[in-house]
Amino acid sequence: MTLDVLRYEGSRRVRSALGISVAFALLALLFVATAPLITTDIAASAEFERVMSQLPQPFVEAFGLRSMTSLAGLLAGEFYTLIWAVFFGIYLAYSAAGSIAGDVDADRMDVLLSAPVSRTSVLLEKFLALLVPIVVASVTTPAVVHVGSLFIDASIDPAALLAVHALAVPYLLCCGAVGLVCSVFLDGEDAAQNAAVGVLFALYLLQSFVPVTDYGWLANVAPMTYFDANEIMLDGTYDLAGAGILLAATVVLLVVSQVRFTRMDIR
């Protein structure tokens, strides 16, 4: 078979990709619509500054509260840091975690492997099917953000908007690869999916709160360390090295998953 698994898995993900893309687009539009109120009336107030001075710095950084004084800062600090990076990453990890384990649980994997197809191609094509929701959401969301910003007369750099989505792709693929590892190492779809969610959320907490401690170097294992929407949209800084690290980590996780999958018993 030639990419039959990819075509099948990709077609299965179209509906969910459209659904999550609509959800992200509506959430982004909500941020855009409320930006004038938040950036001028709330974030610029003296009370807001007082609250910021009392909150722990790791908390402020984790939730992007310092960047809420502009539309770009609001989107970068809230939407792209939390909703896009964390929740989209968790969704992809959860989805990937069910790709192998789910077929094993449902007794579909042994039927699939009885066809003239290698385990390596099955695993790789199932992983590549994650590009369907990534691409659909990455096309829909920036278009909605850009059009929405025109209606509220707020400036947002289209190049930075495109860059944040482009540089998020390696990060999102890495999150999916984490889920794939869980899918081949853990027995049962539920166990794999729960583990994938737990690992991604734990890595987010690690990256958010550990850097200010003496063990800040531990945050380097978190994918979130190498994707900073604030740097892209506010500073115009593109961390290409970080994107390369994420792609390299994705390849390593895929190789580990492939080795495990080729050796595991399907029953």
Q: What pLDDT is attached to residue 60?
A: 52
Q: Which helix (H) or strand (E) holds 60?
A: helix 57-62
CB 59 within 8 A of CB 27: no
Q: Give the residue among 203, 184, 85 at the shortest CA–CA distance from 127.
A: 184
In angstroms, the Cα distances linking 59 to 38, 163, 212, 262 are 19, 26, 11, 43
| Alpha carbons 82 and 166: distance in angstroms, whole number | 17
Dihedral (CA of 96, 100, 101, 106) sign: positive
67 DSSP 8-state letter: G
Total residue length of the chain: 267
Q: What pLDDT is attached to residue 230?
A: 87
Tokens of residue 73, six digits:
């800062």
Would you state the torsion angle of the CA atoms of residues 76, 78, 81, 86, taken in this order, to the nearest 10 degrees? -150
Q: Which amino acid is at 226?
A: Y
- Counting Cβ atoms within 10 Å, is residue 88 exposed (0-12), middle (13-18) or buried (19+)? buried
| Ranges of the chain whose pLDDT falls below 50 | 43
3-state secondary structure 15-37: HHHHHHHHHHHHHHHHHHHHHHH
Q: Residue 213 — left, alpha, or beta (φ > 0 → left; ψ -120 to 50 → alpha)?
A: beta
pTM of the predicted structure, to 2 decimals: 0.89
